[in-house]
Amino acid sequence: MLLVSIHDVTPAQAGPVSHLWAICAERGITPALLVVPNWHGRWPLEEHPLFTDWLRARARDGAEIVLHGERHDEIGLPRGLGDHWRAWGKTAAEAEFLTLDGVAAGVRLERGLRCLRQAGLEPSGFIPPAWLARAGAYRAAAAAGLQFSEDERSVRLLLSGRRIASPVLRWSTRTSSRAWGSVAVARGRSLIQSRAGLPRIALHPNDLSHPATTRSLTRALDRWLAWHRPGRYADVVTSPARQP
């Protein structure tokens, strides 16, 4: 089974998010939508009714709604040396939950959930920005009733605490060299991880900002769909084979 998701779903990125959705829909994929309720503290969903209408329509189409932080960035959250090491090479100050303990993470989770629910959206999971969070954040998400999360290496079943190995394919476009490098990595992963039991493809709006990554992601979707049927996080949560 192949899990496909669109990250950084926000009205600030409405155009490329819609484009990624169309790319997936053309291939019979209904991706999970990782929604940021107030992107960088400047794009609250409640001020963008057309975009929230689009989100509700996609949820009716079967898209799983996932809370992707409250604002995504790390503004006002200074990193320690250990935090810098964990985030090195992975994100440019966009790991909102990297430094938060369980209490602080729970506060942000609650605000994010309230915003999504007020917009008529019911999230089933929580995935931290940049896949970086402390253990307390996952416990807080489980306490809030959310069913799943993930990191770079695994899907997490929050209510049971189990982690399922799951390699993820992604791209980076922060620089041209990173874009080309991520294209090469994507190709390499198709050679060595094609038989993985639960692979993931994580799409980001910025993937469409470079022609090489745009071509690579469409080819990757076609390639991986030849090996795996598209699935949903709910399938992982409810599958008896996935339970402890």
In this prediction, residue 244 carries a pLDDT of 40
Task: Give residue 82's pLDDT.
Answer: 82
Nearest to 69 by CA among 99, 13, 111, 117: 111
| Type of residue found at 22 | A
Percent of the residues in the chain that have a pLDDT greater than 90, as a whole number: 85
Read off the pLDDT of residues 124-164 as tens digits, 9 standing for 90 and up: 999 999 999 999 999 999 999 999 999 999 999 999 999 99
Q: What is the pLDDT of residues 42-62, one digit of tens each?
A: 999 999 999 999 999 999 999
Q: Is the pLDDT of residue 174 over 90?
A: no
Average pLDDT, the chain: 94
CA distance 200 to 203: 10
Nearest to 109 by CA among 79, 71, 63: 71
Torsion of CA 175, 184, 152, 208, to 10 degrees: 50
Yes or no: say if 83 and 90 are a contact pair by the CB < 8 Å rule. Answer: no
CA-CA distance, 174 to 216, in Å (whole number)?
16
Cα pseudo-dihedral 75, 78, 80, 83, rounded to 10: -10
Residue with tokens 């189990």: 162
Tell the burial category of 60 from Cβ atoms under 10 Å away from its Cβ (0-12, 13-18, 19+).
Answer: exposed
pLDDT band at 4 (very low <50, low <70, confident <90, very high): very high
CA distances from 85 to 72, 76, 82, 115, 128 (A): 19, 19, 5, 32, 17
d(CA 202, CA 194): 16
The pTM (predicted TM-score) of the whole model is 0.95
pLDDT at 229: 96
- Asked if pLDDT for residue 190 goes beyond 90, the answer is no
The DSSP bridge partners found for residue 156 are: 149, 163
Query: Can you list the domains of the chain with their CATH numbers?
Result: 3-242 (3.20.20.370)
Please check the confidence at residue 242 and state whether its pLDDT lies above 60.
no
Chain-centre distance for alpha carbon 47 = 23
Least Cα distance to 23 among 160, 199, 204 occurs for 204
Is residue 241 predicted with pLDDT exceeding 60?
A: no
